[in-house]
Amino acid sequence: MISQINDEMQSIERMTVVGRLYFIPPGTSPAGFQANLKCRGTRDQGSCGKKLLGPVRLNLTSRGTLLDCLKDLHRKLETDHSKCVSCVAADTSQEPAPMIINSSQLRAAGFKLDKVIPPQLEAAARR
- pLDDT tens figures, 20-49: 999 999 989 999 999 999 888 787 788 888
Binned at pLDDT 50, 70 and 90, residue 57 comes out as very high
**Do residue 6 and residue 63 come from a single domain?**
yes
**Do residue 81 and residue 33 come from a single domain?**
yes
Q: Cα–Cα distance between 41 and 33 in angstroms, integer?
A: 22
Binned at pLDDT 50, 70 and 90, residue 94 comes out as very low
How many residues in the chain? 127
Residue numbers of the domain that contains 44: 2-92
Domain count, the chain: 2
**Do residue 71 and residue 103 come from a single domain?**
no
Average pLDDT of the chain, as a whole number: 80
pTM for the model stands at 0.68
Q: Cα–Cα distance between 16 and 47 in angstroms, integer?
A: 12
Q: Which of 76, 54, 79, 67 is nearest to 7 (CA)?
A: 67
What's the DSSP call for residue 58? -
**Do residue 9 and residue 33 come from a single domain?**
yes
Other Cβ atoms within 10 Å of 4 Cβ, number = 13
**Do residue 81 and residue 122 come from a single domain?**
no
- End-to-end CA distance of the chain: give it in Å, rounded: 62
